[in-house]
Amino acid sequence: MTPRPTESSEPDFEPALALAREGQFAPALAWVERALVERPELEAAVPAAQALARIGRLAEGAGDLERAERALEWALRLRPEYADFNLRYASILIARHRPAEARRALERALEVHPRYLSARIELALLDAREGRIGEALAALREVQRDSRIEEPRAFLRGMRCLEQADCEEAGAFLRRALRGADPHLELQLDRVGTLLDGGEFERAAQMLRGTLQHFPGYPDLHALLASAEFRLGAFDDAIASLVRALELNPDFTAARVQLARALDALGERAQALDQVALALEQDPENVQARELHESWSARGRAGSGRRIGARKAS
């Protein structure tokens, strides 16, 4: 079995992680450095590498790629056998336009864990970006044959995009097809849920935007971002997020109902009713869609009656 980092609360490094959560990545790394100088035995422990990887992930999500790279390099010096760390390091190197180094990191991940789906996908996408579309498609067909794909339709759409040399769109669909392959996503969503429950909609939206940088092909994340934007009163932004969710998954009925609500909030009742009607076509038993359709249709009829009465009286 391939060694993997686990996401647990490590008291030795919690102050550094707290700094990183606040966006203070340089102080977070400095804190880790001091801790390791004072207690060199911690270098041999998993928590040190794990904390550095988490700091790197937070920095990457915030766009601080320089410190993200430094954190992952350090984590890999401590734990080079973790395939997840090599994959994350490769992601940072790709974002920093260093594909040759990224390729080496992905190959190291696959040396450790030859069936690591995420690394195989990213290596294929790297081939495609460098013009080797045929090789990329061959690698993906091999993945398709010997692996369990969580969302086969998304995987096929990703391959079709790649056939047209649309690497970015292909990447979005292929990563979505591996839903559940990244252990960090669930933790991120737990944190987002806590923020939404606590009414911290702006922080939830910021966290989701960072998460979407790594999982742009997940319609659920776009819909969740729309929920935070809606509660902030940013209805235009919510509509844009929901439209993207529906582009990725046209059968996403819950997102269509959300879109109807957002359109109605902007006074676009006719368009909102159209979306509700589409939602009911997809799922005739959808309670929310049915209630909205009945409520808005009845209100429209009442308003129409009042306008007719007014014209007669004039």
190-204 pLDDT, tens digit each: 678 778 878 889 998
Q: What percent of the chain has pLDDT over 70?
A: 86
> CA nearest 120: which of 142, 99, 100, 98?
142
Contact partners, residue 79, CB within 8 Å, separation at least 6: 3, 5, 46, 49, 85
164-183 pLDDT per residue, tens: 888 888 888 888 787 654 55
pTM of the model: 0.60
- What average pLDDT does this structure show over 20-27? 92
Residue 226: the pLDDT is: 94
101-127 pLDDT per residue, tens: 999 999 999 998 888 888 999 999 999
Q: Distance between CA atoms of 211 and 57, rounded to whole angstroms?
A: 10
Residue 2: the pLDDT is: 35
Q: Which amino acid does the sequence have at 16?
A: A
Q: Distance between CA atoms of 58 and 29, rounded to whole angstroms?
A: 12
> CA nearest 66: which of 119, 13, 30, 26?
26
The sign of the torsion formed by the CA atoms of 32, 35, 36, 37 equals positive
Q: Distance between CA atoms of 23 and 194, rounded to whole angstroms?
A: 19
- What average pLDDT does this structure show over 201-219? 83
Q: Distance between CA atoms of 189 and 295, rounded to whole angstroms?
A: 33
- How confident is the prediction for the chain on average, in pLDDT? 83
Q: How far is CA 97 from CA 53, 65, 117, 178, 278, in A?
A: 20, 11, 23, 24, 42
Mind listing the domains of the chain with CATH numbers? Answer: 1-106 (1.25.40.10), 115-180 (no CATH), 183-313 (1.25.40.10)
259-307 pLDDT per residue, tens: 999 999 999 989 999 999 999 998 888 888 888 888 888 765 555 443 3
Residue 72: pLDDT band (50, 70, 90) is very high
